Amino acid sequence: MTTINIGPIHPSTHGVLRLVAEIDGDTVVRVEPHIGFLHRGVEKLVETRMYMQSPPYMEKLDYVAPMAYDEVYVAAVEKALGVDVKERAMYVRVVLLELQRIASHLLWLGTMANDLGQLFTVFMWAFRDRDMVLRLLEEAAGARMFYVNMRLGGLIRDLPEGFQEKADEVLDYLDKRVKEYEDYLEKNPIFMQRMRGVGILSREDALNLGVTGPVLRGSGVKYDVRKNSPYYVYDKLYFEPQVRNEGDCFARYKVRMLELRSSIRLARMAMEKMPAGDAVGMQIRLILPEAKNRIVTVNRELPRGECFMYLVADPQKPYRLSIRDPSFINLAAFGELAKGARTADLFAILGSLDMVMGGVDR
């Protein structure tokens, strides 16, 4: 039996993570993740800031899909203060969140393929296509990465003129590209051998371990917050949670590829059904009306899974904020997934979880 340290540099394609693995020959007997390298104390920090000073901190928790974390925090504040979101703003938020999901999954696809070796081509393709989505988000929010564009009741500004036409063009292109990615990867024997039958998580274990998002749906559990607890206008848009039953790395890959198509359709439907009107929210004010709801909970389907936010409201700032981050929950299952795997499989399994360590460490 040998104990080896992996990281904290080597797994840093997914953030700064250290793995301590016990191996017998080339078989993993036990692996323990060591976290905390990116800890910033965000949950405590927001207690010292007024409500609308905190969205920039939230976005750094998931720096691959920052708008999603911005939205879930602002939604919690809206619920505490009793602020209603404008009808058009609901549709705009759905469009932007689905574009953010597409950008996040494309980044995952590129880095996952790169982790497995000899697939750098996919990395370059995915980042090229992701850049087209980031340009759309930049037009809508004014930034390419950290957007901070959510405002109480709406957004910092409405979609610019001609946005739908540009978005449709990009989505048409991406719809064709997803099939090309699948054709390229699934005919690659290296990719298939390293993904199929590796890191199997049964339906029962997925439920017991509390994993979420594509990791949960890759084990045959048909649960998606957008469908099971709809928010905004998801109940007015037709889609089904994407599920695979195999529970291995390939199933988790396939769920995300199916979700790329699903997000493309959702963004299109939301733009087609979007009513006229105004989507601009309240101007940022540090002094806000007192909270109508002392304790609120909000859950959202982020690209990495379900995020649950618990907020205890005080006048002008949170008394307490607690976050159930999907990356943290999914990483907690890594030890179970890795048992019996080969040492080289650790990185396929790690990549299939699609973690962002900013959310894990908080």
> How many folded domains does the chain comprise?
1
The CA angle 91-104-155, to the nearest 5 degrees, is 30
The residue segments making up the domain with residue 278 are 49-333
Going by the DSSP 8-state scheme, the letter that residue 241 receives in this structure is: -
Question: Alpha-carbon distance 326 to 8, whole Å?
Answer: 21
Answer yes or no: is 40 within a domain. Answer: no
**Global confidence as pTM:** 0.92
Model pLDDT for residues 90-127, shown as the tens digit of each residue: 999 999 999 999 999 999 998 888 878 767 788 888 98
In the prediction, which pLDDT does 14 show? 62
In a domain, 357, yes or no: no
Cα–Cα distance measured from residue 31 to residue 168, given in angstroms and rounded to the nearest whole number: 45
**Cβ-proximal residues to 142 (8 Å cutoff; 6+ apart), any chain:** 149, 156, 157
Would you give the end-to-end CA distance of the chain in angstroms?
Answer: 34
CB 119 within 8 A of CB 258: no
CB burial of 102-124 (b: ≥16 within 10 Å; e: otherwise) equals bbbbbbbbbbbbbbbeebeebbe
In DSSP notation, 175-235 reads HHHHHHHHHHHHT-HHHHHHHTTSS---HHHHHHHT--THHHHTTT----HHHHS--TTGG
Query: Is the Cα torsion angle 272, 278, 284, 286 positive or negative in sign?
Result: negative
Residue 130 to residue 126: CA distance in whole angstroms: 6
pLDDT score, position 12: 45
DSSP codes joined into one string, 194-208: HHTTSS---HHHHHH
Q: Is 210 among the domain residues?
A: yes
Q: Is residue 86 part of a domain?
A: yes
Instruction: Report the alpha-carbon distance of residue 107 to residue 126 in Å, rounded.
Output: 6
Supply the CATH number for residue 213's domain. Answer: 1.10.645.10
Q: Are 97 and 317 in contact (CB under 8 A)?
A: no
Provide the residue-wise pLDDT of the chain in tens; the chain has 362 residues: 788 777 665 554 566 888 887 777 878 788 888 888 888 888 899 999 988 888 888 888 888 889 999 999 999 999 998 888 899 999 999 999 999 999 999 999 988 888 787 677 888 889 899 999 999 999 888 888 888 888 898 899 888 888 899 999 999 999 999 898 888 888 888 888 888 888 888 888 889 988 998 999 999 899 999 999 998 899 898 888 899 998 888 999 999 999 999 999 999 999 999 898 888 878 887 777 777 888 999 999 999 999 999 999 888 888 999 999 998 899 888 888 888 778 888 888 888 888 888 888 87
Query: Can you give the pLDDT at residue 95?
Result: 93
Residue 113 lies in a domain: yes
pLDDT of residue 74: 92
Residues facing residue 300 across a β-bridge: 307
- Within-domain flag for 30: no
117: left (phi over 0), alpha (psi -120 to 50) or beta: left
Specify if 19 maps to a domain: no
Provide long-range contacts, Cβ within 8 A and 24+ apart, for 19-26.
19/346, 21/338, 21/343, 21/346, 23/343, 26/342, 26/343, 26/344
pLDDT in the model for residue 76: 92
Question: Can you tell me the distance from the alpha carbon of 295 to that of 302, in angstroms, rounded to the nearest whole number?
Answer: 22
C-alpha 325: how far from chain center = 10
Unique residue bearing structure tokens 């917050």: 225
Res 133: pLDDT: 92
Q: What is d(CA 91, CA 87) in angstroms, rounded to the nearest whole number?
A: 7
Residue 10 lies in a domain: no
- Using the structure block, give the residue that is written with the tokens 């299109």: 268
